[in-house]
Structure 1
């Protein structure tokens, strides 16, 4: 039997008096609200209401963008090269329901990337990097980073840039909705095209890395009140694209865990510390290290590594 104060319909819920937000979780798309409820003739009692967006149903897949489909309205957020981002509504009177990311035209590489696959652990020795991975990175199609070039050359997303100088710029990452502070997600992109990945970093890059750290922390603090102790700054290896960039994420963003897997994410502070202990000449510590990470079973780099191992056995 329901408690006398428990809401039974929309009319009961409209009597909810909001007090404060208890929690917001971008990963589960939910928010918990504290307040009070009362029915006619009753004293108010404390209540928590948790709102969570329902999962998208696979059986609606063919109908999402049909004439009479699920998505009823979209607003364009940004479009650069082959990448477009929009927000969609399932009804005119609703809050925006989904962020829609479009890649068009999509290559086979994109298809492999977004297809569910098992993970394979790779131990990348300096030799494996020199013999296989470096060549793979060098052959990375320029079209895959054209959207980065568009930003760096002032052709797109200029209104979003939060900081810019001759060495790098900072702007919101496309994953962030620009509203939810707990999921704050920025990216710093360097101008130096010769730094393709973590492996290219040398002690001489310390001024650049320290400047990115300082400016990113300053932007997050000045614009959104997110302090240094509430930020994670990290670099992916292997990254999704080979133009050096640093992720700047609210430390409370649980959705960021997907990009913080062991082996893939390297904290910027740790990278700086490693380089500070390094010699100034010859191969640096990041060229001498063995790096362990995982790749999807469909990843083109994994195929090259396995092919190389087959030749050496």
Structure 2
């Protein structure tokens, strides 16, 4: 539904006297369920399919090979869970393809590795027996359906949100998108009050910054309260395929929430995040053999850094992905702002992002769209 015109105009007029540095007032933390961080073993047992029952299919993306399910655990049927399954991508590096049994090295190369004492995967226990069914044979074309033999590359990434609350579901429901011109006045009069009224859902961010969670996925961390940040693997990246690299640089300070809050005074922090993160990532993921040859290489100019606006969560963070990641919705127009361009804009005008009109893409089922357009809430059958 469209926003009531008179109310909206009144809100915009009353916002004109507000200072351009208006940023969301820190809202109270949302009531957080008493769920202590579980061990790897407990999580594997608790979230196996036998312990869940299906409520509904939230969405299914055939092109991305991803499905999102609304489930409930058998031992706590009053609490909702969201389970996302996504088929893993194939490795791209030759040594990874050979390692995972997708293809074999030349026989002479195998002998050389054995002579050098390198481990070769070859036993039945390590490699599954090859089983396939021929689907098509026509001229030079053959199509087979492989059922066994590629076990090391047939994994499925599983993400669980538990207990899931109503606002979690909106992200995974089918939704159209709309272009939206966000003026500074609309940001101050509609977006800031909306964000200030919503309880914060940043417990997971605080857990990372405090070292209480995902410590094995943190690549770099500086605890300085003004200039410090933590670089962590994004939850969507398994850490296996280099071209799928996706990391987040999360700043320590909590008073900068998004692009709108950035000023020229933040440039040193942004430049440091950019330089340190690219250096750390390049050093970590560039691998050489004993002979000095590259087994895997990640150069600084292969790492794309950007901000999202609007962001997924309002605590300033910078995204880092591989430039050769292929089609990626994270970098599409209307959402991604390249980090170097952000810095240059702030060098030209400290108030650049507080004064400009920003064109954004909003999902129709998202809370921000509701705030701007007054749409109805989701009808997902979520347990109360």
TM-score (norm 1): 0.67
How do 1:212-231 and structure 2 match up within 5 A? Answer: 212-225=273-286, 226-231=298-303
How do 1:289-308 and structure 2 match up within 5 A? Answer: 289-307=356-374
Instruction: Kindly indicate whether residue 213 of structure 2 is the aligned counterpart of residue 148 of structure 1.
Output: no
**Aligned with 1:243 (options 315, 325, 335):** 315
Cα deviations by residue, 1:68-94 (Å, 9 ceiling, x for unpaired): xxxxxxxxxxxxxxxxxxxxxx99993
**Corresponding residue for residue 233 of structure 1:** 305
**Corresponding residue for residue 237 of structure 2:** 176
Residue 243 to residue 287, structure 1, CA distance change in 2 (3 Å):
same
In 2, distance between residues paired with 1:271 and 1:229? 17
Q: Which consecutive aligned stretches of 4+ in structure 1 deviate over 3 angstroms post-superposition?
A: 30-37, 90-93
Cα deviations by residue, 1:240-288 (Å, 9 ceiling, x for unpaired): 1111110000000125x21112110000000000011114xxxx11000
**Corresponding residue for residue 124 of structure 1:** 182
- Residue 175 of structure 2: SS of its match in structure 1? coil
Aligned residues between the structures: 225
Cα deviations by residue, 1:204-259 (Å, 9 ceiling, x for unpaired): 0001000000011101111112112111100001111111110000000125x211
**Aligned with 1:29 (options 50, 75, 89):** 89
Aligned-residue offset at 1:174: 1.1
Q: Work out whether residues 120 and 296 of structure 1, in 8 Å CA contact, stay in contact via their aligned partners in 2.
A: yes
Gaps (5+ residues) in structure 1? 1-25, 38-89, 309-313
Instruction: Kindly indicate whether residue 208 of structure 2 is the aligned counterpart of residue 137 of structure 1.
Output: no
Residue 140 to residue 227, structure 1, CA distance change in 2 (3 Å):
farther
- Residue 202 of structure 2: SS of its match in structure 1? helix
Select the structure with the greater relative contact order (CA < 8 A; seq sep ≥ 6). Answer: 2
**Corresponding residue for residue 259 of structure 1:** 330
In 2, distance between residues paired with 1:97 and 1:234? 29
Aligned-residue offset at 1:29: 2.8
In 2, distance between residues paired with 1:92 and 1:146? 41
Aligned-residue offset at 1:109: 1.2
Aligned-residue offset at 1:36: 9.6
- Residue 314 of structure 2: SS of its match in structure 1? coil
Q: Work out whether residues 27 and 254 of structure 1, in 8 Å CA contact, stay in contact via their aligned partners in 2.
A: no
TM-score (norm 2): 0.55
Residue 140 to residue 243, structure 1, CA distance change in 2 (3 Å):
farther
Root-mean-square deviation (Å)? 2.6
In 2, distance between residues paired with 1:106 and 1:149? 18
Residue 202 to residue 277, structure 1, CA distance change in 2 (3 Å):
same
Aligned-residue offset at 1:30: 4.0
**Aligned with 1:108 (options 166, 179, 193):** 166
In 2, distance between residues paired with 1:93 and 1:183? 20
Cα deviations by residue, 1:99-132 (Å, 9 ceiling, x for unpaired): 1000011111111111111001110000000001
In 2, distance between residues paired with 1:218 and 1:127? 39
Residue 36 to residue 215, structure 1, CA distance change in 2 (3 Å):
closer
In 2, distance between residues paired with 1:223 and 1:189? 19
Q: Work out whether residues 161 and 170 of structure 1, in 8 Å CA contact, stay in contact via their aligned partners in 2.
A: yes
**Aligned with 1:271 (options 342, 348, 369):** 342
